[in-house]
Structure 1
Amino acid sequence: MSTSFQIQVATYLPESYSNGPGCRAVLWVQGCPKRCSGCWNPDFLSFKGGTVWTVAQALEKLTQSDAIEGITLLGGEPFSQAEPLSNLCAEIRQHGLSVMAYSGWTLTELTRMGSPQTDLLACCDLLVDGEFVAESEASLLWRGSYNQQIHFLTERYAQWRSQVNNYHRDFEILIQDEQLILTGDPPAAVLQMLQGLLPQGEWQMR
């Protein structure tokens, strides 16, 4: 495994409770080939911009909290950077942490792509797949629309199989570097409240 591979990073959170099971570090990568209507992070679609991290730098930043039980990969499209992220996640697993990833491609499509996408899949415990479809928007836990599925790729979170559909959308309002951050999947009323209280430049959606 190489820790010198480079990752194009949009942003990250060292701790979050709304982007997967338990407390997780969250990495948003920069760049996505898809253009889903109603994308939550349109600023992360371009493959230009963001910050370049080596795998070693990402590992250091994402494992700084003793509270986390794993990391979640979002974007952007993580599987567009499958090679460096598979190296990162292999190192993450060596630390005893879990890996959850999101992709606009389905599990079947990713599997057909072969390496390095399948190398990244092999490091994942959970995968949420499928494009966001605004017309099928849902209040499901960890999913934005009804077509998206949660795949349990290992047995680490097997207990969630029978209960994941019993929970609804989750979100957090955090303060990082003196800026308010809204992350997860908030209802429209929360967005409207923030838009009415604060100018867009004073808070971010992730």
Structure 2
Amino acid sequence: MESIMGGVTEPNLFIRCSLKSFCQESASVLPWDSVLKDTNKAVAEAYILPNLRVVRLCQAGRPIPVLDQEFYYQCLSAVSVGLTARKKVDDEDLRQSVELYKSWRDPNVSFASSAHISSGWFQNASSQMATNASNHVVVNFYRRFQKYVKQRVGITGKERYELLRDVLAPAYAGSDERVLEFRRWIPRNAEGYINKEKPHLILPVMYRFLQFIELENYR
């Protein structure tokens, strides 16, 4: 299935932080390639793990956690070793996702070492990852909704535009059963628009789109 939250498949994802916050003093005597490989590996795996976690929650019909810094810090912590400020995995869904993810990894490939990377880097990285994931969900929702409607309903162009317009509008007084069905799926804010401030609420809908599209593509 296509990545539901973005991550390693997305181009131009950068973590910006100062050199001082990037590593501990002990890292200054290490080959920089080693330090950079560990940070890149940690970020890559910390994008894969939450995608797995969210898909499992969607499959089980369980609530999706808020996509905040804490969410991604837990994931970074779970896929790295040597982190002094490691977050304890006390969430059962996360723990099961971590165990499943580890079972898929090549046991001969080591996890990223954080022994020479400061906790400040993990804070900065997890904050940026949360922003990237939230933006990905919001930006790609409409595109995936368009594709879903095309494949399920079989309409494009003006007819599809008008259907999506009615679905996403704050209010709808019509009687189109397709519009009424899709409107029930949309998480809305107090003004009736799709709740872009809480992208984790949008993820189950996107999962529904991607699951249907994938099944259709294999027919």
Q: Same fold (TM over 0.5)?
A: no
- TM range, normalised to the smaller chain? under 0.3
TM-score (normalised: structure 2): 0.24
- TM-score, normalised via structure 1 length: 0.26
* Structure with more helix by fraction: 2
Larger Rg: 2
Using CA pairs below 8 Å that are at least 6 residues apart, which structure has the higher relative contact order? 2
